[in-house]
Each structure stands twice: as structure tokens, then as C-alpha cells.
Amino acid sequence: MEQPSDLQPSQKIRVVHLADHTGRLQVLFPESSMLDIAAVSRITKRRFEPIAHSHSNGDALIKPNSVMTILEADMLAGSSFSIRTKSNGQRRDISSSELKKLFSGPLNSFNNISIDAPLIKKPVDNHEDDEEQILQALGRFQSIRLKQRLEETLEIPPLPASSNKIIRLSSDNSSGTDELCDVIALDPSLAAQVVSWASSPYYGAPGSIESVEDAIIRVLGFEMVMNLALGLSMKNAFKTPEEGPRHYQDFWLDSVTNAVLVESLVKAMPAEKRPKIGHAYLAGLLHNFGFLAISTILPPHFSILSRYQEANSHLPAELIEMQILHFTKEQLGSWLLRYWSLPDNIWTAIRYSKKPHYYGEHAILAKLLYVSHQLRNDVEIEPEVLSQIGLSLEEAEACQQEVYQSSAELHKMADLINNISA
């Protein structure tokens, strides 16, 4: 018996609405493919952009022959498809011959406008090869002769002084609360952020938090404040992009939510499997640091990447990054954190956070980031990964619900990062 079309993702047709200053365009292509906006521009000689917030389901079909439409030519060779015809997500079955007949008018054309997702090159498996892959990718973007070292090629902002001091302090096993308070006190803005963080209703501390020392002793603990302060201080290395993908959640809200979810997952894990909670929190906070790096170091390409992500929100971000940049934000972000001498487990976990079958050093922390990502994006989690971190799906989902119930407090914590500048 033939399976229903809605169980065949490769047979779904995705509809995306684009526009420029002169009008609107509708494009149809297989759900298993990535829309190639550059191909659309070559065909139309116009620069279209996604119209608005693009849901992972795509847009609903506009009545044929009422708006200019371009369809992927390869769909003519298919047999049957399903297409979303209403905004409520309802789909209808359609054959390739019916598709051709429906879109036979003068406003329509069939062209090659998409790239089959499985054909997109994958990132290298080992982080030791990241620098070479990134350098090769940059060679495609720049006309000047590339230097041999990545740090000489990229214009990397210096790490904030407070971050450097905290990193040095973290490597000193004899350091304690007094030394950490002294370092944070050198940056009044950072001290205010740490105190406000500990005062958040999310942590429910009794009474008022008056100082960084209070935050350490009464609420967060030495390790957590150490890593929180490092993450907060690093925000000044890169400016949050103002024109990122419109469907992309506020950067720091996404980061804070991820950090507290990873923290919650660690607390739910069996004690013998738990990584350091402060390191887990910092890895969660910095999981998308490569996104900021791309926006600062490669602004024109970040703009292009943003347009592609809006039009292809049905695909994993790393696929789109590989097609447009030829490296992922995890590769660049982890390389940068490694270059800045952050602890090995932080940058390693971020580098392999999308690799559920990574079994190298610091794999548990990498798998925690993977589980958090899958939970927040409502994507299936591989049972083997849950088993390896010692949690059931029900326990992981309970952590997610607990965190989401505190969404108002998380918004306030994200606002704190956005509104206080160093």
C-alpha cells in the first residue's frame, strides 16, 4: 500500500513568497531541497528577499496565474506531490502533470532554482581540519592572497580585558571568591550584570543581592559566577547583528534559554555523569558565538546567509551555512574560542554539538548541547544520546517545560545583557 504523501518529506512541495521594490514572486521547490536565491536572481534579473517571517512549513500557495511563479524544473520528472494550499497547514495531493497544467500561464516558468540538500558538502569531521576548511572558504570570498594563518586573515576583535583576566583566574587552582570579586569589580558594568543575574526571580534568592560576593555565596556559587562572568564579558567582543534572519529569535534570549536548559539537564543527570555545571552553563550561553563572529567578520556574507536562512527555515542551519559559507558557525565559533584560550571542553562541546555520534573527549557536554538544541527546536532526539547522558526523554522534556515556565524571567535576563554595555 502506498504511503500517504505527508509521510514522504521528499515529495512535499515547499512554497516561499519573495518580493522586491517592484512586486512579488512565488517559488515552488521540493521540501528536500534548498532554494537557491542566486539562481532566482539570475533568472529574473531582480533581487528578491523573503517577504516576512518564514515558518518551517513554508507559505501557503497563492492562486495559480495570479502572481509570478517559478517552479523547480526537476519536479516535472516526479510523479505525485503534496502542496500546502491554506495557511492552517492543510495540504492537497497533486501530480506533476497537474502541476504543469496549473502553472502553464504566462506568469509562470519552470527553472532550476533549488539544490538537493544531500548534495551539499558536509563540514570536515575533525576540528583539527577546521582551520584549513575555513581558509579555503575565505579564499572564495577574497581577491587578496590569503595569509597562511587564520588569525592573520580574519580581523578578529581583541578579547575584552575582563575576559582575559577571568580566563587566567580560572586556570589558577588556588583562586577563590576574593580574587574573582576583585577581577569582576574592575568592570562595574559586568559586576552590575552578575548581581542583577543573581537577583533574577529565576533563581528565587531570598532578600536582596548587594554584591558580587553575595551572588557567589548566597545564590550562584563560585564556579557558576566565574563562567557566567566570562560569558557576559565576552559579549563585547562582537556586536549583536541588527539585520539577521527575521525568523531568528533574539540572539541573547536564545543563548540564555539554552544556558538555563543545559543547566537544568545537568542537574537532572546522574551525579557520576555530570560535567561541571559552570562549564555546561557557559557552553550553553556561547553555543551560537560563531553566529556573532560571522556577522562581524564577514558582514556581506552574513547578509546573504540571513536571506537564505529565511527562505529555507525548513533545513538545518548548518546545511545552509555549508552551501553559502563552506563552513559552519560551530566550526568558526569553536575555533575562535580555542584561539582565545577558553577551556577545551567548552569549545570542543560547541564544535561537536550537532554531532550526536561524537565519542571523543568532552562528548558528554557536546551531547548535552545537542539534546538542548533538539528540545528547543522540537526535533527528535536519538535515544542512544539520551542513554549516554543518563536521562529519559520524559526527564529531558520535563527540564524543558520547567525552563519554559520561567520565560518571563528569561526575557528579563536577556534584556539585561542587551541593555547594559561595558
Q: What are 21-78's pLDDT values in tens digits?
A: 999 999 999 999 999 999 999 999 999 998 865 567 788 899 899 999 999 999 998 7
DSSP 87: T
Q: Which residues, in sequence order, are CB contacts of 81 under 8 Å at separation 6+?
A: 5, 11, 12, 13, 30, 75, 93, 94, 95, 96, 99
Q: What pLDDT is recorded for position 16?
A: 93
User: How remote is the C-alpha of 302 from its chain's centroid?
Assistant: 13
Q: What pLDDT is recorded for position 243?
A: 64
| The residue to which cell 558565538 is assigned | 289
Q: Determine what percent of the chain is predicted with pLDDT higher than 90.
A: 52
Please state, in angstroms and rounded to a whole number, the distance separating the CA atoms of residues 184 and 200.
19
The grid cell for 233 is: 564579558
Architecture of the CATH domain 127-154+238-419: Orthogonal Bundle (1.10)
Cβ–Cβ contacts within 10 Å for residue 288, how many?
22
Residues of CATH 3.90.960.10 domain(s) within the chain?
5-119
Please state whether beta strands 23-30 and 108-111 pair in parallel, antiparallel, or not at all (unpaired).
Answer: unpaired
Q: Domain 5-119: which CATH class?
A: alpha beta
Please state, in angstroms and rounded to a whole number, the distance separating the CA atoms of residues 319 and 384.
23
- Return the SS3 of 110: strand
Q: What pLDDT is recorded for position 297?
A: 84
- Return the SS3 of 397: helix
Q: What pLDDT is recorded for position 149?
A: 65
Distance between start and end Cα atoms, the chain: 64
Q: What pLDDT is recorded for position 173?
A: 77
Cβ pair 283, 350 in contact under 8 A = yes
The grid cell for 330 is: 560551530
Q: What pLDDT is recorded for position 244?
A: 61
Please state, in angstroms and rounded to a whole number, the distance separating the CA atoms of residues 222 and 232.
15
257 backbone dihedrals φ, ψ, rounded to 5°: -60, -45
Which residues face 84 on adjacent strands? 91
Residues of CATH 1.10.3210.10 domain(s) within the chain?
127-154+238-419
Please state, in angstroms and rounded to a whole number, the distance separating the CA atoms of residues 168 and 233.
14
155 backbone dihedrals φ, ψ, rounded to 5°: -90, 85
Q: What pLDDT is recorded for position 54?
A: 57
Please state, in angstroms and rounded to a whole number, the distance separating the CA atoms of residues 280 and 261.
10
User: pTM to 2 decimals?
Assistant: 0.87
Q: Determine what percent of the chain is predicted with pLDDT higher than 70.
A: 91
Residue spans of the chain under pLDDT 50:
1-10, 144, 247, 421-422
